Amino acid sequence: MPIDLRQVAAISGMSGLFRIVKPTRTGVIVESLEEQPKTVVAQARHRMSLLDEISIYTTDEEGTIALAEVFDRLHQKYGDSLPVSEKPDNSELKRFMEEALPEYDEDRVYVSDMKKLVSWYDIVNKFVGFTKAEAEAAPEAAEENAPEAEEGKKKAKKAK
């Protein structure tokens, strides 16, 4: 299961990514994902996009792939650091995309999108982390063992 990006947002006009803290009457309180986080109110006039709702165009049958799935693939393939320079040029970004996501649609995925992908991956990796999918699997395993634990409790009560 890919990483959970439901509480992470990009806000137009503001650089970086933000974690949604809570809604207000006039907008949403967000916290910047950076070394020294700042709390800001994103008002209704700001265009906010949840990363969970963003997809990348592909040439396969589906037509798109969720950003969380792309991040998961990148993390499995490259780990914590992507093989791009700090300020990559257009050709380097295109080579990276061809390597990382060969089925991406070259006509509809622009270089600016690739820059955001690399930038956002670094921020998400540093401040959100990729352990959430693993942590969500653990409660599911506990739920599967729950009926056995209940039976054990019932038998213990009957033995008394």
Is 152 part of any domain? no
Domain boundaries, position 23: 8-133
What is the helix (H) or strand (E) element at residue 66, kind and residue range?
strand 64-66
As a whole number of Å, the end-to-end CA separation of the chain is: 43
Secondary structure of residue 43 in the 3-state scheme = strand
Whether the CB-CB separation of 63 and 24 falls below 8 Å is answered with no
Q: How far apart are CA 67 and CA 156, in angstroms?
A: 48
Is 140 part of any domain? no
Rounded to the nearest 10 degrees, what angle do helices 90-100 and 67-78 cross at? 90
What's the predicted TM-score (pTM) here? 0.76
The tokens describing 58, both together, are 């592909």
Is 124 part of any domain? yes
Share of the chain above pLDDT 70, in %: 80
- For 66-80, write each residue's pLDDT tens digit: 999 999 999 999 988
CATH classification at residue 91: 1.10.10.1650
For the chain, the domain total comes to 1
Is 37 part of any domain? yes
Quick one: which of 71, 123, 119, 52 has its CA closest to 111? Answer: 119
- For 22-79, write each residue's pLDDT tens digit: 999 989 999 999 999 999 999 888 899 999 999 999 999 989 999 999 999 999 999 8
Is 77 part of any domain? yes
Whether the CB-CB separation of 33 and 128 falls below 8 Å is answered with yes
